[in-house]
Amino acid sequence: MHKSRQWNVFRTSILTLGLLAGASAGVHASPVINYSTSGAIDSTGVTGTPVISFNSLVQNTVDVGSGSNLSLGDFQVAGLPGNQTTTYNNTPFNISLLVNQVDGTTPNPNQTPLQISGELNGTVVGNDTSNVTATFNPLNNPNFQTGLYENTLSVPSSKSLVASTTNSGQTSAEAFITSTTNTQPTPEPTSIAFFLMCLGGIGLRHRIRRHS
């Protein structure tokens, strides 16, 4: 009978370890990413007073799940006096995306920052007219790793920038991100300790019964 009881204890230990490991894996099912961006508009190809800038993000958070829109920041168009004009002709812009934390911890490895680039083309007239388009270049490295996760980032092909009298001149730049786990997380130390304690108890009980 003692062998049957030992087997029951051993089986319970295995089941408990599996449940705890499964719970640990569940924590990583929907990663929460904390990130920052830094964007800049070049002066190349600008005729007139530069009126377009980029509003970056600091410590922004997104719950990715199976996929989510990820804000990169905003293009900001300022108004011009009267009917003055500013023209953008293949003017480069660059946005850097840095992941700070995943699920509250610093990821290792962390294959960011990612560099996002493109060009501005069009004209801003006065306060209420803009036909400027931001065209995004294809990403050189859309797939990147952050800790346990393999991520894929995609950017829009283009965005039309609104004039200063529409939405305060702000046009959101958004990407789309998906994340999947690239490995099975190891059981937590407490789970392993519990498992070893059960095995030790079985061995001790067996030795006591033998000497008895």
Q: Bigger pLDDT: 115 or 29?
A: 115
The per-residue pLDDT for range 27-77, each reduced to its tens digit, is: 446 799 999 999 999 999 999 999 999 999 999 999 997 789 999 999 999
Residues 6+ apart with CB under 8 A from 6: 202, 205, 206
The answer, yes or no, to whether residue 26 has pLDDT greater than 90, is no
For residue 67, the 8-state DSSP code is -
The answer, yes or no, to whether residue 4 has pLDDT greater than 90, is no
Instruction: Give residue 30's pLDDT.
Output: 73
Q: Which two tokens stand for residue 6?
A: 């030992």
Region of poorest pLDDT, from 51-55, 62-66, 144-148, 207-211 = 207-211
Average confidence (pLDDT) over 151-155:
96
Going from N- to C-terminal start, the domains of the chain cover: 31-184
Q: What percent of the chain has pLDDT over 90?
A: 69
